[in-house]
Amino acid sequence: MESVAPLVADHARRDAVLLLLEEQTTASIPEIATRFGVSEMTIRRDIQKLVDAGQAIRVPGGVRIERSFGGEKSFHERLQRMAEAKRAIGKAASELVRNGESVTIDSGTTTLFIARHLRHHRDIVVFTFSLAVLEELAGCDSIRVELTGGAYRRTSHDLIGHAVEDSLSTVSADKVFFGAAALSFRKGVMVYDREAPRSLLDAGRERILVIDSSKIAQEAMYSFCRVERCDLIITDRGVKPADLARLRKLRKVIVAE
């Protein structure tokens, strides 16, 4: 089994362990340690954090997900992490959208803040597979939301599967806003979600990555695209000056205030 480099921050690795458990329900400590390229002791500490948070239950030799820990709470907790930074990023992103344009919005917590700041725009069309985005914009008479097909995933309150890919492949909006779990200067834009639809990148003529500063110069589980595929990157003022300088050598960057 391919392992993940131990450069991943502790909180990011715990998120990835939780995602693994959501996919296969249970896992042994040796299996998880091998998967993430860290010691069994490190994984035991990660598991204890998940157990303390009520997200997982210890079983002999391993761990299983706590199914009573619903997707709504999981999504809510992710929404609270770096909330001020995400709010600033969402506002900066929304200011790039002109009335009358069409946009594609990724599933995720950072992109949800974009939707919140789009509520006062007029005559825009939003394509998405995020039910959270749909709910955020449902009461806006001047915004039309088009939802892809797909199977419901409770943990992220979104849709997944081939129907998402098929729907997005027909879309060519003015802009596409997408998030990521990490931005690695070695491996590019990365995600933990193997279901992340690659056709999202072509669902807008301008590709805009929105990513908070805690995820820059980190690595996640799967490569999603090269940094060079992004036309613009929006992050927050917590970004390290050295990382910002490296990013600006690759792409145009907006630092949200």
What CATH number should be reported for the domain holding residue 181?
3.40.50.1360
| 241, β-bridge pairs | none
> Are 65 and 87 part of one and the same domain?
no
- CATH code assigned at 55: 1.10.10.10
Residues 6+ apart with CB under 8 A from 117: 90, 91, 93, 94, 95
Total domain count for the chain? 2
> Are 64 and 84 part of one and the same domain?
no
Provide the 10 A C-beta neighbour count for residue 42: 16
- The pLDDT score that the predictor gives to residue 62 is 86
Q: Is residue 3 included in any domain, yes or no?
A: no
> Are 231 and 123 part of one and the same domain?
yes
Q: Average pLDDT by consecutive 10-residue portion of the chain (257 residues)?
A: 53 84 84 91 90 76 65 58 91 97 95 94 97 93 95 85 95 97 95 88 97 93 94 97 97 96
The domain of 212 spans: 76-256
* Gap between the Cα atoms of 126 and 15, Å rounded: 29
- The pLDDT score that the predictor gives to residue 139 is 86
